[in-house]
Amino acid sequence: DGGITQSPKYLFRKEGQNVTLSCEQNLNHDAMYWYRQDPGQGLRLIYYSQIVNDFQKGDIAEGYSVSREKKESFPLTVTSAQKNPTAFYLCASNFFGSGQPQHFGDGTRLSIL
């Protein structure tokens, strides 16, 4: 079955440490996205990518970095510059076009040790 796989499901970060969240899709989607979800809030866009080797900052990109070396993969690094990283992180993907829905992974929950 096609889908989006995020790993790990739970992740713990120590102070001053960078951590990388994995996102892989086998849906042949063009665009991929990273969102942050905090309790009681909607989704906030961190980064998005429409094509390999190209990505754009979203609304809350500070303290995060991404790469898009393959169409299937869009890993997110939470750097030590992100002072409040505790959140639920969701990866999504879709085909181009305004009517195209996004498909989501099951998320990674990041906590601070």
- Please name which of 85, 93, 101 lies closest in space to residue 14, comparing C-alpha atoms: 85
Q: Residue 74 and residue 108: Cα distance in Å, rounded?
A: 14
| Ramachandran class of 47: left when φ > 0, alpha when ψ lies in -120 to 50, beta otherwise | beta
Nearer to another protein among residue 80 and residue 103 (C-beta): 103
Q: Which stretch binds another protein (CB under 8 A): 12-20, 63-71, 74-82, 97-105?
A: 97-105
**Is there binding between residue 47 and another protein (CB under 8 A)?**
no
Nearer to another protein among residue 63 and residue 95 (C-beta): 95
Nearer to another protein among residue 37 and residue 67 (C-beta): 37
- What is the smallest separation between the CB atom of 32 and another protein, expressed in angstroms? 12
Torsion sign (Cα): 17, 111, 8, 28: negative
For residue 97 the two structure tokens come to 């076009």
Residues near another protein (CB under 8 A) are 4, 6, 31, 33, 40-43, 45, 48, 50, 56, 90, 92, 94, 96-107
